[in-house]
Structures are given as structure tokens and as C-alpha cells.
Amino acid sequence: MRAGEVAPGLDAPEEGNATTGATEADAVSVPEEPVTTGRPRRRGVPTIYDVAEAAGVAPSTVSRTFSRPGRVNSETAARIRQVAADLGYRTNPMARALSTTHTSLLALVVPDITNPVYFEIINGVQDEAAEAGYTVVLVDSRESDRREREALERALPIVEGIVLGTSRMSDASIRMIAKQRPMVAINRAVREIPSVVPDNSRGVRRALEHLGELGHEPVTYLAGPEASWADGMRWRGLREASLELAVHVRRLGPLAPTVAGGVAGAKAWLQSPTTAVIGFNDLVAIGFIRYVTSRGVRVPEDVSVVGYDNIFAADLVTPPLTTVATPRRALGAAAVRNLLAQIKGAHPRGGPPVVVPVKLVERQSTGPAPAQAPAAGTPPRGIPVR
Amino acid sequence: MRAGEVAPGLDAPEEGNATTGATEADAVSVPEEPVTTGRPRRRGVPTIYDVAEAAGVAPSTVSRTFSRPGRVNSETAARIRQVAADLGYRTNPMARALSTTHTSLLALVVPDITNPVYFEIINGVQDEAAEAGYTVVLVDSRESDRREREALERALPIVEGIVLGTSRMSDASIRMIAKQRPMVAINRAVREIPSVVPDNSRGVRRALEHLGELGHEPVTYLAGPEASWADGMRWRGLREASLELAVHVRRLGPLAPTVAGGVAGAKAWLQSPTTAVIGFNDLVAIGFIRYVTSRGVRVPEDVSVVGYDNIFAADLVTPPLTTVATPRRALGAAAVRNLLAQIKGAHPRGGPPVVVPVKLVERQSTGPAPAQAPAAGTPPRGIPVR
DNA sequence: TTGAAAGCGCTAACAG
DNA sequence: CTGTTAGCGCTTTCAA
């Protein structure tokens, strides 16, 4: 018995004692004045109790009406919904969560919301989540595993699952957290954790193919961070493609995955230039172009460069960047679908990563190799050596 | 009385019959078989009851230990914390929220997470929120008021407050929602809603000042969307500055606040060029530069252009863009501080917007006006008229 | 199909 | 300073 409900009704004389489910004892104290607004409890947002009373049914019936439609007579349901609407009733997510542990919240972890690469991932995740009635909590680790852990720590207890859009944490930490909530990783393969990744090997292969067709040989790969899983995949793919396509590939790095990293790569490249380079990502490619351009090297006349990711800025720089477009929105959406499946019970954890296709976007930073290929160690014409 | 608690206690003989608060009636029904694991309730994450029992105190004391440190003896607290740690107890946010309506969640609404302008705002909001122990739920309206309303609708019941980082909803809708939760708007003044905005008039004034010093006259303003509050502010500031600085300003627009908008603006500008233009934002400025450059106009030799916002790409384009830097991170942080203050009770709603300072970042898209200013209606030298 | 009643885990008076 | 006791609003057996 909910004492709290009865008492207030009784304590408020002007409310009269509408048979609020009062016991016989209560019933004896005959009401003397009619009530206008029979509001049950303290003022505030209406609850199922308010709706129940107004509709003349039990609270549990109201609850069922919203949580298990179908388990209640359609007419009663209709009436209840009507009353609820009139009262402006909205089910309280916290109360529901308390008894069901179902919060309709998902966490999305990204290392840096400022990094263009994540925009579309975020959009894809949000869209797919919204479609399933889920809201997403964005956890921005700011490239710090401490921040990431803290933020995740805070979000963990309220979310039903986690999408790891590139994490800065160790595999061990990740697995630790995966024990507490369903999780799926994007762009990173962690043993035991389901993941979805872009087709890295095909991406670099297409880039190399494109460059090869233009007559470039050899090609320089401006490598990403040592710890980067994606970099490992791309380099591996590049070596394989190199064999198949019969165009040599040199590796130069590791480099920070930023414009600054690209500048650093350009400086190194100037010491032993090639007619084409493939950047670890667009930022690196952009930094490369900027620097070599400032040194009098023309793109793509002297050197062709292709980036990776196809971020927003790729089409803004001069010349517009030829790059491998990763389907980031699809990546995010796929991750959420997988996650939701896990949440719904079917726990297909582990297994090989889901691979989504990529494609090469040809713009103006690539062109035919210069007529005469530079001798090894010799800068292409026009390049001031260092 | 929590039946669930008492029964288990009695069932465990090895616990002796410590007067756990059992009634006489309960005490009589002597247990016949011993139990090994005297686990209180259903298996799962530990609750304050588990901690209380293990520490030999009342649940409420455990609760206080975590929710109102200081209101409990430091030694007892220490012991409780120790036990809690051992048990791996973590306070359940949903349960807490249910009784306090304090969720430690904030909503941040942005029209398009893909728009570079919002990155720093998001970071500022996240940082400030995290510092106060709050987690933020990102609501991306995707430039659609329907989506925005729906997402907000979903988040509303669980957040304690809302930061509107540029909304697509009507003032009326906004005010409607503000009735339900504390709110503060960024970059938009809505009557009755506290807001924080960048110093638009000072920003455009600095831009015009800069251009004036370089000898430009008159200057063209590539206007933003008609409905944009910011555009209104900027144009107004420009007209005032125009008077004070004695340099004429022409308005050209409205334009979409995008690269495409800039291209459209450039086409119009070519019909009656000036030696300098100020874009509504960086994207517009970038689009402008792209187009005029493709038509043989040199920047900044033939025309100087200044953008607005100082987005990431501003420093990536060629030439790097001179632009007015808006302190977006500070904007976000200030908004959260204000919001938190409201949530904590002091409701300083309404009032004039909080204005945060901006500054001009000079890069290479601006330079001295061409020696001979073009006669009105005449294209600067080198510009092919249409 | 509906109702009654017991919690979900925590906080909050109110006593002691 | 600590324990008792009601709930917060909703879901969920268990009966009817």
C-alpha cells in the first residue's frame, strides 16, 4: 500500500475524499464537500497513478498500455492513451530504467570531436541510434586515455552499450569495459570485441593502382602513428598491392596524423623524392602539399599526392585532394546495428571484423608522372634539394 | 519493511540471529538447513544494502557516505568506503535520479555536427560540464527542426539543462522547452532566455578597420542567411562601423552560409567588384576565393577577403584566410557555467546576452588595396567581367 | 484482460 | 552521527 498516496488526499480537506482507493476505515469518514480537481499527490508532472485514477483503471494497466501494448484491451488502451494525452503524461525514463535497466542510451567514444574524420561516424551513429529510439552520449576523450576512462566511467552506468569510434585505451582496458557493457569497435580490431572497419587494404590498393596507371614508380607512403591499427593495415595492404601491381612502395614515417605530421613528412621526402606519395590520411597529405608547394614543388606536375579518408577539407584545399573515401557514416550505422543486436540478446561477440567498402575519389592532386622519372635519390626537376 | 532483506538474513544460520530487526514472528520460524553464501538479494551488482550489511551499518549511512560526505563520522565513512571498494559497489545513477531528479546530464543542441563552427563549442561545453561532473548528450538536429524537436523530446526528460548551440527551432518552440528545463542559448538572443554571444559588432568592426587601413573603399559584405540572427548583428555592426570609420560598405546577399553560398556571392560580386569583401563566415569566404580565383582574380592582389569564425580549414586554404576568430570554446564554457548556475537554483534567467570578445586573425587573404581603386561599376584590373 | 502488491536502489525526513 | 521508514515512478509476478 502506498501510504503516501492516501495520506495527502486525506490531509487536504478541500480535496474531499474521493474514493481514491481508500480503505473501509477511510470510507467511513463521509465526505462533506465535492472536489473539483482531484489531484492525487504533490503538484508536478503526471504519473501513471494520475492517469490511472483519471481513467478509472489500475496503475499497472496504464503501465502495460505503454510498455507492452497488446497486453491490454484495445478499447481500454485507447481510453488510457487519451487520458494520458490530456494530462500530458510522459513516461519517466529514470523510473522505467530503475526497474528494467533499459535506458535507451548509447555511448559513442571518439578521441577528438574536432577531427573531421569523426563527423560522419558520429552522424551515422546518431541516425541509426535515433531510428531505434536510442539517444547517444558523446564521450570525447581528447586524445587522452585518462579523460576517456573518466568520461566512460561516468557514462557507463547509464548506457546500454558502447560504440568505440577509435579508442586511445589499451586493449586490456577495452576488454575490461566490454565485460560490463555490450560494445563494438570501429576502425580497430580488439580480440573478442566485435568490430567494423573500412576496407583498408582495398583502399590503399586503389590508390596505388591509380598512381601506377599514371606511370608513377616508385611511390612513397607517408606513414601514420606507430600505434595506429589503421596504419598497420594500410601499410600491409600497400605491400601486398605493391607486389601484385609491380610498383615499388617506400615507407616514410611514423608521422603524426596531422598537418604538422605531413609537413615533417615533406621535409623528409625532399631528401629523396618520388613522383608520388600516399598520405596516411588527408591531414598528412595536406600538410605535405603545403610544405612542398612552399618549396617550389608543383602538385601534381612534379609530385602526385593522394590522401585517405576524404574529409571535408579535402575538397577545399588547393589543389583539391585525390583521396580514398571511407564510408564513415556507414561505419557508424553498422556499428550501432551490431551493438543493438547484442543488446537485444543475440550476443555474436568476437568473430572477424565487419568490413565495409571504400572508394577512390579522384581530384586534382594527382596527375601523370613527369616525363622522365627521377633517378633514385635525385629530386624531380624543379625541386630544390633541401 | 523490506521483506527481501530480512528473509535472507534469517536463512543464513551461520550469521547467528543477530537482531537484524526481525519480528518475533519471523524469529520463530527456525531455519533448518545451513546456507553457504549468505547473499542478501538476487545476484548482481552490489547495492547500498550489501555494503551496509557488510559494514554493519544502516543503508542510509552508506547512502550518506556517498551523497553527503561530511554528514557521517569520518571513521565510519572510511570503513564504509573500504567495504564498498572491496565489494565493487558503485552508486546507481538511475536510482539516485529517481529520488533526486538529479541526473548529471546536460543536453547540447547543434544544427550540424559536421559544421566546423561547432567543434570548439562542443569541446568547451564538454570540458566545462565534465569539470562539474556532468555528462553531455549531443543532440544533432541536422538542420531540421523536426529532428531537433524529436531528439530534444527524447533527451529532455533525462537532462537537467539545455545548451542551445544555435537552434533551428522557432523562438516560440524554444521558449516552450525552456519552460521545462533551464536553458541557455549560444549565438542567438531569444527573449527571456539567457544567452551568450560573441561580440559580433566588434568583430566586423575590426575587419573593416583592417581593410580600411589597407586602403580599401568601398567594401562588400557577403551576407548570410536572411533568418540568421548573427547575420543581422554583423550587418548592423558593419553599418555602424562604416560610419565611424568612413569606409562604405555594400551588402550582397542573402547567401547560404556555405562554400556554395560563397560561389554564388562571387558571381554576383563579379558584376560590380570592390577591392575587398567580408564574408558572412569562413565557408562563404572560401567559396568566394575559389570562384574568383578560377576566374583569374588574384587574392589578395586584386581583392582582399576576410572571413568570419576562424574555422579549422581557414588556415588550410590558399591563401590562408584572414578572419575574425570567435572564441567558441569560451562561448561553450560560459554557457555551461550559466546553465549550471541556473540549475543550482539561482535562476538569473533573461537579461541581456553575455558578450564574449573576438579577435581578428590576419593571414594572407588580405593585403593593400590595388594602387588605383577601381571606378564604381568597373572591375579591378585583371578581372574578366562575367 | 485487469488488479493488487512487491520491489528496482537510493534519498530524505524524522527520531533517537 | 546513525537508524527507521517512506517513498521517487514504473514494471512485474501472481491472482482473480
Indicate the Cα dihedral angle B111, B116, B117, B122, nearest 10°: 70
Rounded distance between C-alpha atoms, residue A366 and residue A278, angstroms: 10
In this structure, the number of other CB atoms found within 10 A of the CB of residue B3 comes to: 8
Give Cα A166 distance to the centre of its chain: 9
Residues with CB under 7 A from strand C: A 1, 21, 56-61, 64, 71-73, 75-77, 95, 98-99; B 2-4, 41-42, 44-45, 47-49, 59-60, 63-64, 66-68, 89-92, 95-96, 98-100
Both B317 and B338 in one domain: the answer is no
Of A165, A104, A173, A97, nearest in space to A132 by CA: A104
Q: Which residue matches cell numbers 579549422? A: B312
Cα torsion angle, A72, A75, A81, A83, sign: negative
Query: Does residue A379 lie within any of the structural domains?
Result: no
Q: In B 63-82, which Cβ lie closer than 7 Å to strand D?
A: 64, 71-73, 75-77
Whether the predicted pLDDT of A377 surpasses 50: no
Rounded distance between C-alpha atoms, residue B13 and residue B27, angstroms: 12
Residues of B in contact with A153 (CB under 8 A): none
pLDDT digits (tens, 9 = 90+) for A77-121: 999 999 999 999 999 999 999 999 999 999 999 887 777 788 889
pLDDT band at A375 (very low <50, low <70, confident <90, very high): very low
Whether the predicted pLDDT of A38 surpasses 80: no
Both A114 and A78 in one domain: the answer is no
Q: Which bases along strand D come within 7 Å of a protein CB atom? A: 1-13
Indicate the Cα dihedral angle B304, B305, B311, B314, nearest 10°: -40
| Mean pLDDT, residues B240-246 taken together | 96
Cα torsion angle, B30, B32, B37, B41, sign: negative
Give the pLDDT score at A300.
94
Which nucleotide is the nearest neighbour of A64, by CA and C1'? D11
**Which amino acid would we find at residue A376?**
A
Q: Which tops the pLDDT comparison, B362 or A43? A: B362
Of A211, A261, A194, nearest in space to A231 by CA: A261
Both B147 and B211 in one domain: the answer is no
Both B222 and B317 in one domain: the answer is yes
Give the pLDDT score at B283.
93
Please state whether strand D lies within 7 Å of residue B272 at its CB atom: no
Q: Which domain holds residue A276?
A: 200-326
pLDDT band at B10 (very low <50, low <70, confident <90, very high): very low
pLDDT band at A346 (very low <50, low <70, confident <90, very high): low
Count how many residues are written for chain B.
Answer: 386
Rounded distance between C-alpha atoms, residue B293 and residue B305, angstroms: 12
Give the pLDDT score at B145.
80
Q: What is the 3-state secondary structure (H, E, C) of chain A?
A: CCHHHHHHHHHCHHHCCCCCCCCHHHHHCCCCCCCCCCCCCCCCCCCHHHHHHHHCCCHHHHHHHHHCCCCCCHHHHHHHHHHHHHHCCCCCHHHHHHHHCCCCEEEEEECCCCCCHHHHHHHHHHHHHHHCCCEEEEEECCCCHHHHHHHHHHHHHHCCEEEEECCCCCHHHHHHHHHHCCEEEECCCECCECEEEECHHHHHHHHHHHHHHCCCCCEEEECCCCCCHHHHHHHHHHHHHHHHHCCCEEEECCCCCCHHHHHHHHHHHHHCCCCEEEECCHHHHHHHHHHHHHCCCCCCCCCEEEEEECCHHHHCCCCCCEEEECCHHHHHHHHHHHHHHHHCCCCCCCCCCEEECCEEECCCCCCCCCCCCCCCCCCCCCCCCC
Q: Which tops the pLDDT comparison, B176 or B144? A: B176
Write b or e for each residue in B322-352: b if 16 or more Cβ atoms lie within 10 A of its Cβ, otherwise e: bbbbbbbbbbbbbbbbbbbbbbeeeeeeeee
* Beta-bridge partner residues of A105: A135
Average pLDDT, chain B: 83
pLDDT band at B4 (very low <50, low <70, confident <90, very high): very low
Which triple of cell numbers denotes residue A12?
487536504
Of B156, B154, B146, B135, nearest in space to B111 by CA: B146
Whether the predicted pLDDT of B21 surpasses 50: no
Whether the predicted pLDDT of A191 surpasses 50: yes
| Mean pLDDT, residues A150-157 taken together | 88
Rounded distance between C-alpha atoms, residue A106 and residue A336, angstroms: 9
Give the pLDDT score at A350.
64
- CA B196 to C1' C11, in angstroms, rounded, equals 35
Both A113 and A135 in one domain: the answer is yes
Give the pLDDT score at A142.
74
pLDDT band at B27 (very low <50, low <70, confident <90, very high): very low
* Beta-bridge partner residues of A355: A197
pLDDT band at B212 (very low <50, low <70, confident <90, very high): very high
Rounded distance between C-alpha atoms, residue B358 and residue B199, angstroms: 6
Give the pLDDT score at A347.
60
Give the pLDDT score at A141.
79
Q: Which tops the pLDDT comparison, B386 or A248? A: A248
> For C13, which residue's CA is nearest its C1'?
B60
pLDDT band at A365 (very low <50, low <70, confident <90, very high): very high
Average pLDDT, chain A: 83
> Ranked by mean pLDDT, which of A323-337, B101-115, B332-346 comes out on top?
A323-337
Which triple of cell numbers denotes residue B105?
546530464
Give the pLDDT score at B334.
94
Give the pLDDT score at A168.
76
Q: Which long-range contacts (CB under 8 A, 24 or more apart) does A229-234 make?
A: A229/A187, A229/A188, A229/A189, A230/A187, A230/A188, A230/A200, A231/A280, A233/A197, A233/A200, A233/A201, A234/A200, A234/A201, A234/A203, A234/A204, A234/A280, A234/A308
Whether the predicted pLDDT of B107 surpasses 90: yes
Omega of the bond prior to B111 within 30 degrees of 0, cis? no
Interchain contact, B130 vs A151, CB within 8 Å: yes
Please state whether strand D lies within 7 Å of residue A101 at its CB atom: no
| Helical packing angle, B145-155 and A117-131, nearest 10° | 70
Whether the predicted pLDDT of A37 surpasses 70: no
Query: Does residue B384 lie within any of the structural domains?
Result: no
Give Cα A5 distance to the centre of its chain: 44
| Mean pLDDT, residues B191-198 taken together | 90
pLDDT band at A268 (very low <50, low <70, confident <90, very high): very high
Rounded distance between C-alpha atoms, residue B258 and residue B354, angstroms: 27
Query: Does residue A368 lie within any of the structural domains?
Result: no
User: Under 8 Å CB-to-CB from A380, ≥6 apart: which residues?
Assistant: A273, A275, A297, A302, A303, A370, A374
- CA A98 to C1' C10, in angstroms, rounded, equals 10
Write b or e for each residue in B279-312: b if 16 or more Cβ atoms lie within 10 A of its Cβ, otherwise e: bbbbbbbbbbbbbbbeeebebbebbbbbbbbbbb
Asked if residues B97 and B157 have their Cβ atoms less than 8 Å apart, the reply is no
Query: Does residue B365 lie within any of the structural domains?
Result: no
* CATH assignment of the domain containing B211: 3.40.50.2300
Interchain contact, A114 vs B114, CB within 8 Å: no
In this structure, the number of other CB atoms found within 10 A of the CB of residue A327 comes to: 19
Both A274 and A173 in one domain: the answer is no
Asked if residues A312 and B313 have their Cβ atoms less than 8 Å apart, the reply is yes
* Beta-bridge partner residues of A109: A139, A164
Give the pLDDT score at B350.
64
Give the pLDDT score at B55.
93
| Mean pLDDT, residues A201-216 taken together | 96
Both A265 and A304 in one domain: the answer is yes
| Mean pLDDT, residues A281-289 taken together | 96
Query: Does residue B373 lie within any of the structural domains?
Result: no
Both A15 and A77 in one domain: the answer is no
Whether the predicted pLDDT of A246 surpasses 80: yes
Asked if residues A270 and A292 have their Cβ atoms less than 8 Å apart, the reply is yes
| Mean pLDDT, residues B354-368 taken together | 95
Asked if residues A122 and B113 have their Cβ atoms less than 8 Å apart, the reply is yes
Rounded distance between C-alpha atoms, residue B326 and residue B333, angstroms: 13
Q: Which tops the pLDDT comparison, A140 or A232? A: A232
Q: Which tops the pLDDT comparison, A40 or B256? A: B256
Both A322 and A338 in one domain: the answer is no
Query: Does residue A365 lie within any of the structural domains?
Result: no
Both A208 and A292 in one domain: the answer is yes
Q: What is the pTM of this model?
A: 0.77
Whether the predicted pLDDT of A301 surpasses 70: yes
Give the pLDDT score at B124.
92
Strands A219-222 and A276-279: parallel
Percent of chain B whose predicted confidence (pLDDT) is above 70? 84
Asked if residues A333 and A124 have their Cβ atoms less than 8 Å apart, the reply is yes
Give the pLDDT score at A19.
32
Both A115 and A176 in one domain: the answer is yes
Nearest Cα residue in chain B from A319: B318
Cα torsion angle, A289, A291, A292, A295, sign: positive
Mutation target to probe the A interface, by most A beta carbons within 10 A, among B158, B179, B283, B363 is B158
C-alpha distances in angstroms, B91 versus A137, A153, A177, A235, B28? 19, 12, 17, 46, 36
User: Under 8 Å CB-to-CB from B54, ≥6 apart: which residues?
Assistant: B83, B86, B87
Percent of chain B whose predicted confidence (pLDDT) is above 90? 61
Rg (CA), chain A: 31
Asked if residues B214 and B367 have their Cβ atoms less than 8 Å apart, the reply is yes
Which nucleotide is the nearest neighbour of A59, by CA and C1'? C3
Looking at the structure of chain B, the number of domains it has is: 4
Query: Does residue A269 lie within any of the structural domains?
Result: yes
Asked if residues A237 and A172 have their Cβ atoms less than 8 Å apart, the reply is no
- What stretches of chain B show up as alpha helix (H) in DSSP? 3-11, 24-28, 48-55, 59-67, 74-87, 93-100, 119-131, 145-155, 171-180, 200-213, 229-245, 259-271, 282-294, 328-343
Rounded distance between C-alpha atoms, residue B139 and residue B145, angstroms: 12
Least confident of A45-54, A257-266, B141-150: B141-150
| CB contacts < 8 A (A, B) | 109
In this structure, the number of other CB atoms found within 10 A of the CB of residue A7 comes to: 11
Whether the predicted pLDDT of A14 surpasses 90: no
Both A184 and A137 in one domain: the answer is yes
Give Cα A28 distance to the centre of its chain: 62
Query: Does residue B71 lie within any of the structural domains?
Result: yes
Whether the predicted pLDDT of A9 surpasses 50: no
- CA B45 to C1' C10, in angstroms, rounded, equals 14
* CATH assignment of the domain containing B36: 1.10.260.40
Of B93, B126, B133, the CB nearest to A158: B93
